[in-house]
């Protein structure tokens, strides 16, 4: 067994591993991690997958990761792999605290739509999503869906709207409809269910020389993936935008979404 790859994410690290021995069929893997300053490893994943995203990672802190395996029908684990050191330089994504309609986890990366009457868009605390990265939303629990629900990204926070289905934003509704600058696209994604993962990949499209971007034609190429389906489209913005806010709006309580 060995750790193959450590990929930094905002507030997390994706750990990928592989088995060494072709004769050995693993039923389960066990991943542990610790801060390099700590004496003791803790379990963070047990299961059959060969990759896992470890959240609760503080930026610019070194962590050690190790993995072992267990064969089919066996109780004992294999020896641990050689520990690998990884860290993330990326600032964690956080929702804005103090918004009446939403309760946040201690690390502010999980938002729960609570019973408060308030409606509006809950935004990220800062524009921490950069073009070229993958932004992931994982829906942990679902409430009653509404066609105005939205999960997505935007160029700037704009208060007074009850959804990201507006200008200067792209989003998916919980029924799978995709909106670009407030306009519904013909391509639709599957409806969002409990456990659904929705990813946004945004890349700048160069329109000749950069001078051409003045005057409201800055183009981004957006890929939204959900439940093994994806849509790709171009998104026109008023101005050059290297980093974006993310946001969500849910009309009924019970929706809980994690961002990383």
Q: 3-state class of 258 per DSSP?
A: strand
From the number of C-beta atoms within 10 Å of its C-beta (0-12, 13-18, 19+), residue 91 rates as middle
Tokens of 218: 């800055």
Instruction: Classify residue 95: in a domain, yes or no.
Output: no
225-248 average pLDDT score: 90
How far from 192 is each of 18, 104, 176, 222, 226, CA to CA, in Å?
31, 21, 6, 19, 8
Domain boundary among 29, 64, 87: 87
Answer yes or no: do 83 and 106 share one domain: no
pLDDT higher than 80, residue 213: no
Answer yes or no: do 113 and 44 share one domain: no
Answer yes or no: do 58 and 169 share one domain: no
Answer yes or no: do 191 and 80 share one domain: no
CATH number of 75's domain: 2.60.40.10
Instruction: Classify residue 192: in a domain, yes or no.
Output: yes
Record the pTM.
0.80
The number of domains in the chain is 2
CATH number of 216's domain: 2.60.120.920
Domain boundary among 62, 87, 112: 87
Instruction: Classify residue 93: in a domain, yes or no.
Output: no
Q: What is the pLDDT of residue 208?
A: 47
How far from 100 is each of 71, 108, 112, 119, 199, CA to CA, in Å?
49, 14, 11, 9, 26
From the CB of residue 243, how many other CB atoms can be counted at a distance below 10 Å? 12
pLDDT higher than 60, residue 215: no
Answer yes or no: do 133 and 236 share one domain: yes
Q: What is d(CA 166, CA 173) in angstroms, rounded to the nearest whole number? A: 12
Domain boundary among 34, 57, 87: 87
Q: What is d(CA 178, CA 79) in angstroms, rounded to the nearest whole number? A: 48
Answer yes or no: do 113 and 237 share one domain: yes
pLDDT higher than 50, residue 204: yes
If pLDDT is split at 50, 70 and 90, which confidence band does 209 have?
very low
What percentage of residues in the chain have a pLDDT greater than 70? 94
Tokens of 138: 């994982």
CA-closest candidate to residue 66, choices 42, 102, 89:
42
Q: What is d(CA 156, CA 97) in angstroms, rounded to the nearest whole number? A: 17
Q: What is the pLDDT of residue 216?
A: 55
Instruction: Classify residue 249: in a domain, yes or no.
Output: yes
Instruction: Among 24-28, 119-123, 146-150, name the most confident range.
Output: 146-150
Answer yes or no: do 33 and 155 share one domain: no
Mean pLDDT of the chain: 89
Answer yes or no: do 78 and 149 share one domain: no
Q: What is the pLDDT of residue 22?
A: 67
> For 3-62, how does the pLDDT look when each residue is reduced to its tens digit (9 = 90+)?
999 999 888 999 999 976 666 778 899 999 999 999 999 999 999 999 999 988 888 999
Answer yes or no: do 27 and 71 share one domain: yes
Instruction: Classify residue 92: in a domain, yes or no.
Output: no
Please check whether residue 14 is in contact with residue 52, taking contact to mean a CB–CB distance below 8 angstroms. yes
Give the domain extent around 182.
102-259
Answer yes or no: do 160 and 250 share one domain: yes
Answer yes or no: do 72 and 178 share one domain: no
Tokens of 221: 């190429």
Q: Which residues contact 175 (CB under 8 A, 6 or more apart)?
A: 145, 147, 149, 191, 192
What percentage of residues in the chain have a pLDDT greater than 90? 67
If pLDDT is split at 50, 70 and 90, which confidence band does 74 have?
confident
Q: What is d(CA 75, CA 183) in angstroms, rounded to the nearest whole number? A: 55
């Amino acid at each position: 067994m060995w750790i193959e790859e450590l990929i930094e994410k905002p507030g997390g690290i994706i750990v990928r591993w592989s088995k060494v021995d072709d004769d050995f069929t693993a039923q389960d893997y066990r991943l542990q991690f610790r801060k390099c300053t700590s004496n003791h490893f803790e379990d963070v994943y047990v299961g059959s997958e060969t990759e896992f995203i470890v959240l609760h990672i503080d930026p610019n802190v070194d962590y050690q990761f190790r993995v072992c395996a267990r064969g089919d029908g066996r109780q004992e684990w294999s020896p641990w792999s050689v520990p690998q050191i990884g860290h993330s330089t990326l600032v964690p994504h956080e929702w804005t605290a103090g918004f009446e309609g939403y309760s946040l986890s201690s690390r502010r990366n999980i938002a729960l739509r609570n019973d408060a009457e308030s409606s509006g868009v809950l935004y990220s605390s800062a524009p921490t999503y950069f073009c070229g990265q993958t932004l992931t939303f994982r829906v942990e629990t679902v409430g009653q869906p509404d066609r105005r629900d939205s999960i997505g990204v935007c160029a700037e926070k704009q208060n007074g709207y009850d959804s990201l289905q507006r200008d200067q934003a792209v989003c998916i509704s919980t029924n799978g409809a995709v909106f670009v600058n407030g306009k519904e696209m013909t391509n639709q994604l599957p409806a969002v269910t409990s456990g659904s993962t929705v990813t946004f990949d945004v890349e700048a499209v160069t329109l000749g020389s950069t001078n051409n971007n003045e005057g409201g034609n800055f183009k981004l190429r957006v890929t939204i993936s959900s439940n093994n389906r994806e849509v790709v489209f171009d998104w026109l913005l008023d101005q050059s935008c290297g980093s974006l806010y993310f946001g969500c709006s849910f009309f009924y309580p019970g929706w809980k979404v994690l961002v990383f």
